[in-house]
Structures are given as C-alpha cells and as structure tokens.
Amino acid sequence: MFSFCTDPATLEGFQWLSCYLTTGKHMSMYWAFGTVLLLLAITAPTALAFGFAGASAARSQVAPLRWIGKTYIAIVRGIPDIAFFLFFVIALDQAFEYIRHRVKCPDWEEPVRQGNDFIVCTAAKLPLGNAPQWVHETYGFMLAVLTFAIVFGAFAANVLFGAMRAVPKGQLETAEAYGMNRRQTFWRVMVPQMWVYALPGLSNLWMVLIKATPLLFLLGVEDIVYWARELGGAKQPQFTDYPHPDWRMWYFAALLVFYLCFTKVSEFVLSKIMVKLTHGQATAAGEAQRRAAA
Amino acid sequence: MKNLILSTVALAVAGSMTFADGHSVVRLGTEGAYPPYNFLNDDGEVDGFEREVGDELCARAELTCEWVTNEWDSIIPNLVSGNYDVIIAGMSITDERDEVIDFSEAYTQPDPSAYLALSADADLAGGVVAAQTGTIQAAFIAGTGATLLEFATPDETVAAVKSGEADAVLADKSFLQPIADADGEVMLLAQEELIGGGVGLGVRESDGELRETLNAAIMSMKADGSLNELIAKWGVGEQF
C-alpha cells in the first residue's frame, strides 16, 4: 500500500501497523463490512415483502391460500435457524440445478443421484462451472439473501398478521360504511394504520437480523467474522511478512464496536420512524403527540 | 446496434458450445487455514505447498484451474454437490472418506502426527487433547483414553492449548513444527503417532476421468523430482 512497506521486518510501531492494516487480506475484511451492509440492505425489504405476502395469505378468505400462509409461518418459525441454513441452501441450490437440468438436457440418460454425488449436465450447473469466481460468489450471496429473507419473512409475517388484527375494528367498519369494498378497506385503511402496531415487532426483528449476519459464514460467504478469525489467528514468520501472536481478541473487539454502533444508529432511526408513523394515529402515543402540538 | 446484439448472441452461443463438454475450468477447493499445506497469504490469496502442487498439476494436465476456499467442516458435502471439482486441503487418504469420495495417488508421504503442549509432561493418556473436527487425529484421540476436544479450525486447536483449555493438541507434524519454532511457550512432545496414509486429492466418485488425468500429472511430478523439491521447500514430511 505505502512505499515504505516493502520490507515490513524493519518497520516498527505506527509504520508497521499502517502497513499491516492495509495488506490485501485486510482489504478483503473491509470489503466484508460492505458485504454485510449490502446483505442487510437487500434482505430487510425482501423479508418484509415475504412477511407481507405471508401475512396477507394467512388472513385470506381463500382457504388454500390461507393454509399456505399459515404453514409457511409455522414451519419456518419452528425450525432452528442453523438447521435451516445448513440444509436449506444446499437443497435450494440442488433444486435450481435440477429444474435447469430437466429443461436444458432432456436427453440425459444417467441418474442425477449417483451414490453420494449430485450430478447434473454441465449446461445446468449454477453458476456454470467455467464462470469466474465473482459469479460464484454473487450466486452464493443471492442464495444467502433468499434464505435470510425466507427465515426472517416468516417472523415478519407473524408480526404483520398481529398488527393487521390490532387495527381498531371501528376504523374498518367506518370504511365499509363509506362504501369501500374489502380490497379498498385493506389497502386504504388497514395497511396505512397497521405499521404503527407492527413497528416494535419489526424493529426487534431488524436487531436480530443485524446480529444474525455472522450466519453468512455458514453459507460460504466470507463475512467479517470469518476474516476476524482468519486475520486474528497467530501467524508464523514462514507464512507472512507480518508475524504476530493470537490477536483474535482485538479483532473481535473491533467487531463488537461495529455491531454496537450499528445497533445504536438503528435504534435512533427506528425511533424517528416511530414518531413519524404515530402521527395522526388513533393510539395513545398519537393522541399524546396531538396534545403536545396543540 | 442490431449487429452488436447479433454478434454478442453468436459469441455467447459459441462460448457455451466450446465449454459444453468436460471440465473447462477445474475448481480446486481448499481450506486456506492449514500452513504449510494451504493458507491465505498477506494478499488474501491461497498460498502454500498445495498451491504450488495444484498449479503445477494443472499446468501438466493442461487444465484451467481456479482456487476456492471452503471451511473444513463442509468440504466433502460441497464437493459431492458439485460446488467445486477437487479437494486439495491436506486431506489424508482414509477408508471412511474413500466410501464417500475418491482419492488420487498420494502426493505426500504419511506424515507422523505430533503433540504440541505447554510442558513436556502433558497428560496424553487421561488428559484433554484438542484436534480439528473431522480429521484423522480427532478419530485417533476418540479411540484413546484421553478426552477429545474438537474445534472447527486448526488455529483454534492451538489456541486451546495456549489458554490451558486442552493439555495438548494432536495434528500433522508439519503444521505444528513452525508453531513450535516461532512460539517459545509451546513445544512438540517426543511421542508421535503414525496415522493416516499420505495426502491425496479428493474427487467425486463419478469423476473417474478427472482422477486419471490428475494421477498422471502426480506421477510425472514424482518421476522428475519436482514434487520432492516442493516437499522439501515447504517441509511437509519425507520425500518420495
């Protein structure tokens, strides 16, 4: 990185540290912070969409749709996260490949499962075997996003389901009295009012999601916890220009600070959103806000 | 514009046709945390004995290879489900693993496993001995009177000894030797265990052709002494 970094063995103190902290390996760790933030940025809205769909399905008047919604919520909430993450991603990946296999190689004779091996034709591999590494990494990342969204979507669905029921009945009856049909009542009266009831539960979920990002490593995505462990481990002089003893404690301390700061910022933003959502609502907090303004 | 699209489509079709059969790119899966076999260097790239062996094998077999890191725990499941094509991760050839995957010829001699401990009088018979999960050393300790303490990464097994959580760690001698050399606190014990039958490349059982190609390359590296040179350079046990 810097010009004086050519022979780290001669350096000391601050110069050594500045060279050490800018090695290619450390850069990978800094990128991993971006990966985690990107995961959160994509997963949160996707999970919310899953949750909204699940909650709407669970309270649908069409019986099969209702069953699907309720089964989704019950199954995903009931299975331990780790079991879900370990099993589901490989299953999902194989399911995608199997579908592509059936579509792209209809005249393939051999069985897909040969003993322990899962074999699809070359054209059905996902991503293709000759794809560059970044494609594989992006694909792994997308699988991770999907898995996170499905898991957290189920919890969000339950929260939203409760929030929809918490909207005062009088509001819905009034909407009907004004001649709105079911659909209009749902979109114009219930959905805008339910968020204030959903937010405490959703903010909880957001906090849990932030803390769950180290599960990324289970999915083969090299996240910050992986790099902290890898960089912090003791390094012998044969294998690096920057030998050091076990420094994992310092790396994990840095992660601790990162996660604490991040949750603090989240709390601040969520409380702002809560104030905004409460505005004009028929709740005690909304009433208090109105009085304060008056 | 239309021409551009047409030529792009033509290129894409031609590209997918040339790559349609066989392994156009062979993906090599490694752990990246087990020096001197494989580790990540300061630039974050895979380095070590296996990096040089793997690159040379690919050159001799005229394969285009790509390096992938995967944690040790799931290194076999990810091979059989096709996420990469070869395991090159200091994996000893054992009968149990051979039931699930196939191995190439060994490219190292059986390396004795050594104990690393804080003091020479560590209790190996009835104490706590650390080993990495799913290794031949873990299986060996489970069969002795000592209590087995398993960890997901090699690094953690050594850290457990230094923190006093375990009395000793059992691992390949070539992995422990540099640690004992660099760190005054810990030492290798005189007792060694001869387990394992040399390190080989792991391939899927259905991938016989790739296995033969790699075997031929290993043979040629053994024949001209280039493998011995690398073994000596990285200190991974006896030469052939």
Give a yes or no: residue B160 inside a domain.
yes
Q: What is the CATH number of the domain that holds A246?
A: 1.10.3720.10
Amino acid making up residue A213: T
Q: Are residue B30 and residue B106 in the same domain, yes or no?
A: yes
What gap in Å lies between CA B204 and CA A119, rounded to an integer? 10
Q: What is the reported pLDDT for B209?
A: 92
The whole domain housing B87 covers 25-110+197-234
State whether residue A38 is helix, strand or coil. Answer: helix
For range A10-31, the mean pLDDT: 87
Give pLDDT tens digits for A59-111. Answer: 888 999 999 999 999 999 888 877 888 777 778 888 888 888 888 888 777 78
Q: Which long-range contacts (CB under 8 A, 24 or more apart) does B148-157 make?
A: B152/B71, B152/B72, B152/B73, B153/A229, B153/A233, B153/B33, B153/B71, B153/B72, B154/B33, B154/B34, B155/A229, B155/A233, B155/A234, B155/B33, B157/B130, B157/B131, B157/B132
Q: Which residue ranges of chain B lie beneath pLDDT 50?
A: 1-2, 4-21
For range A197-201, the mean pLDDT: 94
Q: Using the beta-carbon criterion (under 8 Å), do B81 and A118 form an inter-chain contact?
A: yes
Q: Is the predicted pLDDT of residue A266 greater than 70, yes or no? A: yes
Q: What is the reported pLDDT for B183?
A: 84
What is the phi/psi pair of residue B199, to 5°? -100, 135
Report the number of distinct structural domains present in chain B.
Answer: 2
What gap in Å lies between CA B140 and CA B51, rounded to an integer? 28
Does the beta carbon of B120 lie under 8 angstroms from any beta carbon of chain A?
no
Q: Are residue B129 and residue B168 in the same domain, yes or no?
A: yes
Q: What is the reported pLDDT for A285?
A: 86
To the nearest whole Å, the CA of A188 is away from the closest chain B CA by: 45
Give a yes or no: residue B210 inside a domain.
yes
Average pLDDT score over chain A: 88
Give a yes or no: residue B180 inside a domain.
yes
Q: Are residue B165 and residue B209 in the same domain, yes or no?
A: no
Does the beta carbon of B209 lie under 8 angstroms from any beta carbon of chain A?
no
To the nearest whole Å, the CA of A151 is away from the closest chain B CA by: 22
Q: Are residue B34 and residue B52 in the same domain, yes or no?
A: yes
Give a yes or no: residue B76 inside a domain.
yes
Report the number of distinct structural domains present in chain A.
Answer: 1
The answer to whether residues B36 and B51 touch, using CB atoms and an 8 Å cutoff, is: no
Give a yes or no: residue B18 inside a domain.
no
Q: Are residue B123 and residue B61 in the same domain, yes or no?
A: no
A217 neighbourhood in chain B, CB within 8 Å? 71
Q: Are residue B86 and residue B149 in the same domain, yes or no?
A: no
Q: What is the CATH number of the domain that holds B129?
A: 3.40.190.10
DSSP-derived secondary structure for A97-126? HHHHHHHH-TT--S-SEETTEE---GGG-S
Give a yes or no: residue B128 inside a domain.
yes
CA nearest B201: which of B71, B97, B106, B67? B106
The whole domain housing A172 covers 3-7+16-293
Q: What is the reported pLDDT for B15?
A: 40
Residue B188's CB is within 10 A of a number of other CB atoms, namely: 18
The DSSP element (H or E) to which B134 belongs, if any, is: none
How distant is the alpha carbon of residue B224 from its chain centre? 23
